[in-house]
Amino acid sequence: MERNEFSFYNSENDGYRGGFGDYSDPNPVQPNPTPAPGGKKPRRAVPKRAIALVLACALVGGGAGVGGAALYNSVNQPETVVYQGERPTVETVANSNSGQPMTPEQLYAANLASCVGITVNTTVNIYGQVTTSAASGSGFVLTQDGYIVTNYHVIEDAVDDSSVTIEVSFANGDKYTAKLVGGEQDNDVAVIKIDATGLQPVTLGDSDQLVVGESVYAIGNPLGELTYSLTDGIVSALDRLITTSSTNENGQTETTTLNVLQTNCAINPGNSGGPLFDSYGNVVGIVSAKYTQSSSGVSAEGLGFALPINDVKEILSDLIEHGYVTGKPYMGIQVKDVSAEIQSFGISAGALVSYVAEGSCAEKAGLQINDIITAIDDTAIDSSTALTAALSTDYKAGDTATLTVMRQQQEMKLSITFDEKNAETEAANQLQQSQNSTQQYPSYNWPFGSFGW
């Protein structure tokens, strides 16, 4: 399938930077929650859906639902409880008067206290003048003892800079300074923590039960100013595979492949990190991106994306307990796409290795710069995106796989046992890259950015 190039809001546009002044969030009227009627029936298992589409993009930059809830994935802290709700099956929604969904008024009333605004303040030096800029996003309360979920790109400035402050605002006017618990860039998820108890957490839903056409709702802070806005729409599509891109501090292009659901809820800069609810008041997604314009300049509206909550539940648990996602495979390499132009000279499609970290599992396996990875076990690899998807979907740290590699137009097999992706392995990789910036790279005109694995 031909790859389409799209333009998306990136994190620099997620709210206004440096434009807040003395602005303070208004306190919206707190409606009285009205319980939704109806009982619940057992959930039905839904087969895993196939990936439907590949998009190229960059990041954008909507409570405790009524009804029964069960503890999800217990965490070591005794007061840290994540609630997971249930909902009727698709057949019940379509054919029965029982288990009716909440009205938008009920949903907003039940969940407003669980939705937050997030402001990240960064001190910058502009032409010798020190000033503070701000980026705004959204989030939601995960546990009553202060754990809050948002997008990684909303708080990424605070990951490596302790001087960056994160402020969390509630609809009732309460404000807290938050600390970063952990972030997961590959899935654009982060957990922050405020010093508070007795908060109202959301109830996590089951995104595998979503069907195209059903109603969903987002609560967030569009433009960083229109705080605690409710927007509605439908599930427009499921299992979109999008590739987001951004530029790191070294000026290098970094890309991330995400599985998302598509919605026509109104989503704008500032909505990032906010919850997406189903009509039963359960969080089924995390608002992440919005399609704005194609590479040909054609504008678009009503094309928003959210991370399915089922894809990140274990990630959230890992971030709370460990500060990072455990068990992720790591090769210690940088790879690039082999362009169609280069392929026209007889070079194989695949993931071109442009860097190999010393001491990494890739070096131990025998991978070299200019190798082209064309398969991992029985999965064909025709691009760097395909390698990223295969590693994140099918493998964990400690697993052993067979790489099919083209080296100087000769095919060879290499056995590799994956390292774990964590702060130590990534730091070692980045340090070596900075120290070996003059390392020999291919002389081809490679048009795409690198993927770190």
Strands 165-170, 147-150: pairing is unpaired
Of 186, 188, 311, 371, which residue is the catalytic one? 188
The type of residue at 444 is Y
CA angle 343, 384, 310 (to 5 degrees): 145
Q: Where are the alpha helices (DSSP H) in 127-195?
A: 152-155
Catalytic site residue from 272, 279, 360, 383: 272
Q: Is-catalytic flag, 272? A: yes
Identify any residues that bridge with 131 across adjacent strands, giving them in sequence order.
124
- Judge whether 153 counts as a catalytic residue: yes
H-type helices in 283-348, by residue range? 313-322, 340-343
> Minimal CA–CA distance to 149: which of 345, 390, 320?
320
Burial (Cβ within 10 Å: 0-12, 13-18, ≥19) of residue 231: buried
| Annotated catalytic residue, options 145, 153, 311, 419 | 153
Query: How many Cβ atoms sit within 10 Å of the Cβ of residue 80?
Result: 19
The radius of gyration computed from the CA coordinates of the chain, to the nearest angstrom, equals: 22
Distance from C-alpha of 277 to C-alpha of 202, rounded to nearest angstrom: 10
> Among this protein's residues, is 188 annotated catalytic?
yes
Contact 192, 167 (CB under 8 A): no
Annotated active-site positions, please?
A: 153, 188, 272
